[in-house]
């Protein structure tokens, strides 16, 4: 079931030096109770999309429909409910947490303002939330300030704050990219557990396909390139049989710990694309054609539409049959 229907979102920042919009006619559905992972390189519009979905940025054109209604047309009380129902967890919890507020004061105001529990139950609810996210539920910890917490503890606190309002959806924008690898996995595991226990949906934003495949099991993957969706579909299918060359190349470049495999993985096509990374996207043809290792003349003429390649799986490629299958070993690796 769709929680949000996103229709032809276009956004451009007035101060941007880029000719290209940050988002260009992005349409997709965000399902309830599941993960919709947005993946793509830096600058492709992931954060802008996340901010539009959470209502923090009003797009220049297009709509975000919630229960069939445009969120920017909602009456005040429904808008407040939407903002509570859709929480955001950001890349750098240090900048999103108020440095002057203790752990207790980070969690308390939201619980009171939105009357999540009766006033007298707020202290016990704070302790319950800390336990839920694996933080110390003791008085000394409650008095700590963000600068006295580790990176992992800060992100757990930011997650606790988001979950405290009992939202339907959390937009998680690169929530683990600033954490050490060992801590990263534990925070991802926490997010997975919370999702099933609390019946949450996530829009999970990342530039790292390795992280995306870890969190998006059973959900959907949306691949973006320069403000456009180039592929979207069920996570396992996008990973096993990518239908857009860009998705294929992102998957093929997932780093793996074994240096021998990592060497094998940097195939000729990945190296060729890396050499062309500075090329601006084509203005008229397929947006990926200037970097595509499988490009044909036709790709430089017109921009392909997102087209269904199998039920619920769409790709914007004129020649999806040219996208190779991932090598067997790598497939086993990326499907984990
Ligand atoms: N506040 C802003 N003012 C001007 N341009 C912006 C602003 N925020 C983003 N942009 C531009 O919009 C485009 C999309 O940026 P966005 O941050 O949404 O992408 P992203 O995929 O999340 O990248 P990153 O992972 O680096 O944050 C980029 O070209 C970026 O330079």
Distances 47 to 42, 104, 134, 232 between C-alpha atoms, Å: 9, 29, 27, 17
What is the pLDDT, as a whole number, of residue 330?
57
- State the distance from the centre of ligand 1 to the C-alpha of 20, rounded, in angstroms: 11
Dihedrals phi, psi of 61, to nearest 5 degrees:
-150, 160
**Whole-angstrom distance between the N-terminal and C-terminal Cα of the chain?**
27
What is the pLDDT, as a whole number, of residue 17?
75
Helices (H), the chain: 46-53, 76-85, 93-96, 103-113, 122-132, 139-142, 151-164, 181-198, 209-215, 235-240, 245-252, 259-265, 268-275, 328-334
Tokens 């999970």, residue located: 204
Question: Is the CB of 51 inside a 6 Å radius of any atom of ligand 1?
Answer: no
- Tens-digit pLDDT profile for residues 139-165: 899 999 999 999 999 999 999 999 999
What is the pLDDT, as a whole number, of residue 192?
95
Nearest CA to ligand 1 atom 12: 22
Question: Is the CB of 45 inside a 6 Å radius of any atom of ligand 1?
Answer: yes
- Tens-digit pLDDT profile for residues 160-210: 999 999 999 999 999 888 888 888 999 999 999 999 999 999 999 999 988
Question: Is the CB of 13 inside a 6 Å radius of any atom of ligand 1?
Answer: yes
Are 156 and 189 in contact, with CB atoms under 8 Å apart?
no
pLDDT at 215 over 80: yes
Distance CA 243, CA 316 (A): 8
- State the distance from the centre of ligand 1 to the C-alpha of 287, rounded, in angstroms: 18
What is the pLDDT, as a whole number, of residue 284?
85
What is the pLDDT, as a whole number, of residue 267?
57
User: Which architecture, in CATH terms, is 2-231?
Assistant: 3-Layer(aba) Sandwich (3.40)
- State the distance from the centre of ligand 1 to the C-alpha of 58, rounded, in angstroms: 15
Domain ranges of the chain: 2-231, 241-336
Are 212 and 206 in contact, with CB atoms under 8 Å apart?
yes
Measured in whole angstroms, the distance separating CA 275 from the mean position of its chain's CA atoms is 27
The confidence band for 268, taking pLDDT boundaries of 50, 70 and 90, is low
What is the pLDDT, as a whole number, of residue 186?
92
More confidently predicted of 1 and 233: 233
- Tens-digit pLDDT profile for residues 54-90: 999 999 999 999 989 999 999 999 999 999 999 999 8
Distance CA 305, CA 307 (A): 6
- Tens-digit pLDDT profile for residues 190-200: 999 999 999 99
- Tens-digit pLDDT profile for residues 221-235: 999 999 999 999 999
pLDDT at 93 over 90: no
Burial class (CB in 10 A: 0-12, 13-18, 19+), 9: buried
11, 22, 59, 173: which to mutate for ligand 1, most atoms within 8 A of CB? 22
Are 58 and 70 in contact, with CB atoms under 8 Å apart?
no
- State the distance from the centre of ligand 1 to the C-alpha of 43, rounded, in angstroms: 5
Q: What's 139's DSSP letter?
A: H
pLDDT at 276 over 70: no
What is the pLDDT, as a whole number, of residue 20?
83
Please give the radius of gyration of the chain, using alpha carbons only, rounded to the nearest integer: 21
Mean pLDDT of 250-269: 62
What is the pLDDT, as a whole number, of residue 325?
81
pLDDT at 247 over 90: yes
- State the distance from the centre of ligand 1 to the C-alpha of 45, rounded, in angstroms: 6
The interface predicted TM-score of the complex, written ipTM, equals 0.96
What is the pLDDT, as a whole number, of residue 336?
45
Q: What's 282's DSSP letter?
A: P
Pairing label, strands 228-234, 313-315: antiparallel
10, 13, 173, 175: which to mutate for ligand 1, most atoms within 8 A of CB? 13
What is the pLDDT, as a whole number, of residue 202?
97
Which residues, including other chains, have CB under 8 Å from residue 150's CB and lie 6 or more apart?
183
What is the pLDDT, as a whole number, of residue 335?
45
Q: What is the residue-averaged pLDDT of the chain?
A: 89
């Amino acid at each position: 079931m769709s929680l949000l229907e996103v229709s032809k979102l276009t956004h451009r920042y007035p101060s941007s030096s880029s000719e290209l919009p940050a988002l260009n006619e992005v349409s997709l559905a965000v399902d309830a109770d599941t993960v919709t992972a947005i993946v793509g390189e830096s600058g492709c519009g992931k954060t802008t999309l996340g901010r539009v979905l959470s209502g923090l940025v009003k797009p220049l054109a297009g709509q975000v429909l919630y229960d069939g209604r445009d969120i920017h047309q909602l009456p005040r009380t429904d808008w407040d409910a939407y903002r509570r129902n859709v929480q955001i967890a950001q890349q750098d919890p240090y900048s999103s947490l108020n440095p002057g507020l203790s752990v207790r004061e980070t969690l308390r105001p939201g619980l009171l303002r939105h009357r999540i529990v009766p006033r007298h139950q707020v202290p016990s609810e704070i302790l319950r939330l800390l336990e839920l996210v694996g933080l110390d539920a003791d008085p000394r910890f409650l008095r700590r300030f963000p600068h006295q917490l580790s990176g992992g503890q800060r992100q757990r606190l930011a997650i606790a704050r988001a979950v405290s309002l009992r939202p339907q959806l959390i937009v998680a924008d690169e929530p683990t990219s600033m954490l050490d690898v060992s801590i990263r996995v534990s925070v991802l595991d926490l997010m997975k557990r919370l999702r099933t226990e609390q019946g949450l949906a996530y829009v999970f934003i990342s530039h790292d396909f390795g992280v995306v495949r870890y969190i998006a099991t059973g959900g959907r993957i949306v691949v973006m390139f320069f403000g456009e969706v180039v592929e979207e579909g069920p996570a396992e299918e996008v990973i096993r049989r990518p239908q857009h060359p860009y998705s294929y190349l992102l998957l093929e470049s997932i780093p793996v710990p074994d240096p021998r495999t990592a060497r094998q993985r940097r195939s000729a096509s990945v190296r060729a694309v890396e050499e062309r990374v500075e090329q601006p996207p084509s203005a008229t043809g397929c947006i990926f054609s200037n970097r595509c290792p499988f490009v044909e003349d036709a790709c430089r003429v017109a921009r392909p539409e997102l087209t269904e390649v199998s039920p619920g799986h769409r790709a914007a490629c004129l020649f999806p049959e040219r996208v190779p299958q991932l090598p067997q070993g790598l497939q086993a690796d990326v499907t984990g």
